[in-house]
Amino acid sequence: MIPLSILDQSSVAEGRTPAEAIRETIALAEAAEAMGYARYWLAEHHNSGAHAGAAPEIVMAAIGARTRRIRIGSAGIMLPHYAALKVAEVARALEAVAPGRIDLGLGRAPGSDGLTALALNPLAREEADRFPQKLAELLGFLGDGLPVNHPHARIIANPEGPTRPEVWILGSSAYGAQVAAHFGLPYAFAQFITDAGAADAIGLYRGRFKPSPWLAEPRAAVAVFALAARTEAEAQYHAASRLLWRIWRDRGVYAPLPAPERAAAEIAALDGYERALVDRLGAEGFIGTGPVVQARLAGFAAECGADEVAVLTPCHDPAARRASYAALADASGLAKAA
């Protein structure tokens, strides 16, 4: 049985508000714990009409206060926006809320447009190039301290406690795989962004992995879009929203998730490359009944060398999204194993 987790972008649905999207995220996380999911990861996006998760650490705290077992993580905190010390302090505060259950997933991408990245940090471009150095500082604050000759060596990231977060590197290219391997950290590949490349990136990560105080053996996860329902037709109906949104993303449009009826109508009017892409993603994707999707996920994880799968299911109907995760959990026997 492949361990399953949830990745949530707090997608804004057409006809509902971003604030509602955040509340839907919190409610789904509580349900996910009962279903037996291993982790609940929250994305970071800024200045987006499509995603409401601008402050995953705040929502992580809310989920941590409402759950008891499930691990809660960022997927991820975009490190170039912030000082390493502040990220370390936030992570330690989360550990105080949910001891031993925090995953600190880190990314290098802006999670926004260039102007917004500069508004978050006027040195955003330079800080992206310093990602390895900032990561080393962050690990120092969270671990055994910075080198004695470091200018911030005497600073302590509070609140200290007996546990520390599990640090992950997230990426959709070879860069993140190499960083994770160099620092000896677990690595998650964002297949839902690229639609390809997981096997190469994870293979590179495993081949270059260096054991560290944080991790003795490589551990890799792959994050994919998947949707399960009682029937294939029902799954395809709900998946149309995300398939159309995927086309919008390629056009540079970050709008709320469309209703399935609108999505189906607009997809029917597509032609050329866009229609071919939707057809390919629909045929090759993880869409169908619970047992079918679970089997495809397990097979894909084996093919690309992933130890875990994080499932992203943006869905216009929150009840259909919850039902999808429930169907996968049932097909995988998660509740029985939890």
Average pLDDT rounded to a whole number, residues 255-259? 98
DSSP string, 220-246: EEEEEEEEEESSHHHHHHHHHHHHHHH
On the question of pLDDT at 111 being above 80, the answer is no
Answer with the residue of higher pLDDT: 114 or 295.
Answer: 295
On the question of pLDDT at 243 being above 70, the answer is yes
pLDDT number for residue 336: 66
Helix (H, G, I), strand (E, B) or coil at 62: helix
On the question of pLDDT at 189 being above 80, the answer is yes
Which domains, from first to last, does the chain contain?
Answer: 4-228+286-337 (3.20.20.30)
Average pLDDT rounded to a whole number, residues 257-266? 98
Instruction: Name the band, by pLDDT with cuts 50, 70 and 90, for residue 63.
Output: very high
Average pLDDT rounded to a whole number, residues 283-289? 92
Give the whole-number percent of the chain exceeding pLDDT 90.
92
- What are the strands, taking DSSP E only, across 56-138? 71-78, 102-107
CB 48 within 8 A of CB 112: yes
Residue partners of 295: CB distance under 8 A and separation at least 6: none
Give the whole-number percent of the chain exceeding pLDDT 70.
99
Average pLDDT rounded to a whole number, residues 314-330? 97
On the question of pLDDT at 89 being above 90, the answer is yes
What separation in angstroms does the CA of 24 have from each of 2, 216, 221? 26, 37, 25
Round the average pLDDT of the chain to a whole number and report it. 95
pLDDT number for residue 195: 92
On the question of pLDDT at 204 being above 70, the answer is yes
pTM of the entire predicted model: 0.95
Return the minimum-mean-pLDDT range out of 3-12, 212-221, 327-336.
327-336
Task: Tell me how far apart the alpha carbons of residues 111 and 109 are, in angstroms, rounded to a whole number.
Answer: 6
Average pLDDT rounded to a whole number, residues 94-122? 93
Average pLDDT rounded to a whole number, residues 272-283? 93
> What tens digit of pLDDT does each residue of 135-156 get?
999 999 999 889 999 999 999 9
DSSP string, 164-226: --EEEEEESSHHHHHHHHHHT--EEEEHHHHSS-HHHHHHHHHHH---BTTBSS--EEEEEEE
Task: Tell me how far apart the alpha carbons of residues 44 and 160 are, in angstroms, rounded to a whole number.
Answer: 25
> What tens digit of pLDDT does each residue of 214-241 get?
999 999 999 999 999 999 999 999 999 9
pLDDT number for residue 109: 86
Task: Tell me how far apart the alpha carbons of residues 148 and 252 are, in angstroms, rounded to a whole number.
Answer: 47
Task: Tell me how far apart the alpha carbons of residues 144 and 128 are, in angstroms, rounded to a whole number.
Answer: 25
Instruction: Name the band, by pLDDT with cuts 50, 70 and 90, for residue 76.
Output: confident
Average pLDDT rounded to a whole number, residues 93-111? 94
Strand-pair partners of 227: 287
Q: How many CA atoms lie within 13 A of 305 on its CB side?
A: 18
